[in-house]
């Protein structure tokens, strides 16, 4: 089996508590042809550079603060590898994650992304018994051309993907105007173009410590995501109005779900007429955030 270079992109911003664990989990992989790129997204104190200097294959980059999408895109541009893996600075990997994924990539050249489930750990890094990923009944729906079964329903779990570098084109990067839900937008657009493969075992650890300030928990900030997704599909060349409307109908369901999670006392129900006749307009006008 060949040993192509894997670029691991770890964005960080004012959070030094777990970064060493994340970097170590990438550095100490059984697959050794790895470069680790720590992207400091404008932290107010320098903690990451010294940490990176301890490892010959860890490289530190500083940039002005622009958000997670900006940091990931910056890392993609700096990456020299044939493959890219993303790792958040509070998560970490099993020691053989990359080795298993590279082996699968070598067997299936038509696959451009490999993902898996992840074990949930607490603030101390202890497993909680929870696993995020597909249920046993749905694992078959997480591989192949998954666009329609994934749209508005599920995306890749954040610490798990390995992606071929050539997937990242000018019109398929993270949208830097989306501060929350950028992964939903990016992966659904990736699914539109590329085949993926699901490993039905946890290859990573996802840290969940109940921090209500985490962006992923601020549900009201997801409002409006779906219309940005429609615009990004258009930028990718999706122009057929029937196809766009079909996509929009899926996203209306997602928008209603996000709204009801954000505003449980002002829940919305699906407007059947708008849903079928003008789903794009429905997304534009029916889901404006409450100030």
**Residue 114's domain is classified under what CATH number?**
3.90.550.10
User: Based on the number of CB atoms within 10 Å of its own CB, is 98 exposed (0-12), middle (13-18) or buried (19 or more)?
Assistant: buried
- Residue 173 and residue 97 in one domain: yes
**pLDDT of 48:** 97
Q: Is 223 contained in some domain?
A: yes
Which residue segment(s) compose the domain that 107 sits in? 6-211
Q: Is 269 contained in some domain?
A: yes
- Residue 75 and residue 201 in one domain: yes
175, 195, 211 — which closes off a domain? 211
- Residue 223 and residue 122 in one domain: no
196, 211, 226 — which closes off a domain? 211
pLDDT tens, N- to C-terminus, the chain (291 residues): 679 999 999 999 999 999 999 999 999 999 999 999 999 999 999 999 999 999 999 999 999 999 999 999 999 999 999 999 999 999 999 999 999 999 999 999 999 999 999 999 999 999 999 999 999 899 999 999 999 999 999 999 999 999 999 999 999 999 999 989 999 999 999 999 999 999 999 999 999 976 655 555 677 889 999 999 999 999 999 999 999 999 999 999 999 999 999 999 999 999 999 999 999 999 999 998 765
- Residue 175 and residue 271 in one domain: no
Q: Is 101 contained in some domain?
A: yes
Q: How many structural domains comprise the chain?
A: 2
211, 234, 249 — which closes off a domain? 211
- Residue 146 and residue 232 in one domain: no
Residue 176 and residue 228 in contact, taking contact as beta carbons nearer than 8 Å: no
Q: Is 122 contained in some domain?
A: yes
Residue 181 and residue 222 in contact, taking contact as beta carbons nearer than 8 Å: yes
CA 282/CA 247 separation, integer angstroms: 13
In this structure, what is the dihedral angle of CA atoms 6, 9, 15, 19, given to the nearest 10 degrees? 0
Q: Which residues are 92's β-sheet partners? A: 205
**pLDDT of 291:** 57
Q: Is 138 contained in some domain?
A: yes
- Residue 197 and residue 275 in one domain: no
- Residue 261 and residue 178 in one domain: no
- Residue 24 and residue 109 in one domain: yes
- Residue 206 and residue 234 in one domain: no
**pLDDT of 219:** 78
- Residue 120 and residue 260 in one domain: no
**pLDDT of 212:** 56
Q: Is 291 contained in some domain?
A: no
By three-state DSSP, how is residue 128 classified?
A: strand
Size of the chain, expressed as the number of residues it contains? 291
Q: Is 234 contained in some domain?
A: yes
Phi and psi at 244, nearest 5°, equal: -60, -40
Beta strands in the chain (DSSP E): 6-12, 34-40, 58-62, 83-86, 92-93, 111-121, 127-132, 162-164, 195-207
- Residue 189 and residue 240 in one domain: no
Alpha-carbon dihedral sign for residues 29, 32, 37, 38:
positive
- Residue 23 and residue 152 in one domain: yes
**pLDDT of 289:** 73
Query: Pairing mode, if any, of strands 111-121 and 127-132?
Result: antiparallel
């Amino acid at each position: 089996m060949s040993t192509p270079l894997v670029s691991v992109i770890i964005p960080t911003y004012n959070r030094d508590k777990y970064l060493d664990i994340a970097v170590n989990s990438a550095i100490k992989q059984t697959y050794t042809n790895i470069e680790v790129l720590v992207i400091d997204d404008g932290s107010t104190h320098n903690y990451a550079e010294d940490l990176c200097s301890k490892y010959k294959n860890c490289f530190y980059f500083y940039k002005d603060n622009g958000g997670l999408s900006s940091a990931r895109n910056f890392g993609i541009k700096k990456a020299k590898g044939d493959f890219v893996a993303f790792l958040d600075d509070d998560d970490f990997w099993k020691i053989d994650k990359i080795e298993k994924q590279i082996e699968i990539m070598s067997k299936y050249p038509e696959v451009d992304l490999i993902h898996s489930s992840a074990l949930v750990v607490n603030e101390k890094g202890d497993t909680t018994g929870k696993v995020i990923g597909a249920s046993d009944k749905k694992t078959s729906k997480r591989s192949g051309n998954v666009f329609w079964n994934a749209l508005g329903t599920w995306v890749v779990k954040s610490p798990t993907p390995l992606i071929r570098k050539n997937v990242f084109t000018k019109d398929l990067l993270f949208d830097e105007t989306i501060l929350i839900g950028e992964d939903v937008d990016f992966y659904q657009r990736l699914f539109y173009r590329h085949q993926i493969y699901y490993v039905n075992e946890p290859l990573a650890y996802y840290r969940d410590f109940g921090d209500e300030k985490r962006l992923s928990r601020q549900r009201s900030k997801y409002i409006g995501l779906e219309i940005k997704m429609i615009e990004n599909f258009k930028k990718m060349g999706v122009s057929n109005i029937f196809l766009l409307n079909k996509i929009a109908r899926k996203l209306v369901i997602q928008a209603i779900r996000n709204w009801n999670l954000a505003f449980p006392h002002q829940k919305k129900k699906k407007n059947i007429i708008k849903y079928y006749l003008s789903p794009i307009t429905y997304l534009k006008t029916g889901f404006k955030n409450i100030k």
